[in-house]
Amino acid sequence: MKAVASQMKALYEANGYLTAIHVLGEKEMEQASKEYGKLEQTFGKEYTQYNLHNIHMEHEWVMNLASHPNLLQAITAVLGPNVILLDSRFICKYPSSDVPHKENIAPYVAWHQDIKYWGFEGGPVASVWLAFDDVDAENGVLQIIPGSHKQGVLEHRIAESPGNMLTANQEIPKHLVNAEDAVECPLKAGQMSVHDGLTVHASEPNLSNRRRCGFVIRYVPTAAYPVEDPERPRTFPATVLVAGTDEFQNFQNNAPNFFTKTF
């Protein structure tokens, strides 16, 4: 186990990401998909594209995903044994037959770094994409530029092309992105990728007839601490200690009553 964790950490530090990590078994994936389907029925697909934010605080099955042992094995390998869940969100790119694109503009995610607008220092952020559907080039696979996490925080600006799904509508200017070095991270449903908050990444529109849905979860080591961010003031109301112990107490442990930490 230690050898696997050491290998994960070495690859992550070199490339800024890991991919195709098995998390959910077939029955677990089937059950999670059923539960997500209930949310689609309740709120509608236009809402569930991007608005299911921090619902790990409300739904035990979502918290169980964010603290799944297979997932946390990878997260603790790259962040260390003491880890806080910072934030979570479901992101779904539906085919236009399910959710018509506004003004015929297909949603995409521009080149960016997660840490740019996250408002903390003292440690890295690790962003997980847990696939609920098979993901490939046709339905908007994650694209990553290996090693880009070593460049530091890059300039971001307001995106030039409409349809960017990012909340702050940010993008890294094209001249700062070595797009020719990008690699795709295809996943099977139940697999995950994880990338560093400084890793430059993006995803194209879903132009297929298949849904592309994933659960995005962000983790930090307990040594991290929030700072004032004049570009985007943030609060962290849904932080949960999911692994190890927290000797720093920089974030409040808002664990819901139904959560029992086991890692």
The CATH number of the domain holding residue 187 is: 2.60.120.620
Number of domains in the chain: 1
From residue 59, give the alpha-carbon distance in Å to each of 154, 161, 240, 242, 255: 36, 35, 14, 16, 12
Q: How many helices (H) and strands (E) does the chain have?
A: 5, 14
User: What would the pLDDT profile of 133-147 be if each residue is shown by its tens digit?
Assistant: 999 999 989 999 999
By DSSP bridging, strand 17-22 and strand 191-196 are: antiparallel
**147 vs 102, residue with greater confidence:** 147
**pTM for the predicted model, two decimal places:** 0.93
Is residue 255 in some structural domain?
no
Q: Is residue 46 part of a domain?
A: yes
Residue 10 to residue 12: CA distance in whole angstroms: 5
Tokens encoding 45: 């697909």
> Would 47 be classed as within a structural domain?
yes
- According to the model, what pLDDT value does residue 211 have? 93
Q: Does residue 252 belong to any structural domain of this protein?
A: no
**108 belongs to a structural domain:** yes
- For position 232, what pLDDT does the model report? 65
Q: Which domain holds residue 109?
A: 2-243
pLDDT per residue as tens digits for the range 169-221: 888 889 999 999 999 999 999 999 999 999 999 998 888 999 999 999 999 99
Phi (first) and psi of residue 84, to 5 degrees: -115, 130
Query: Residue 260 falls within a domain, yes or no?
Result: no
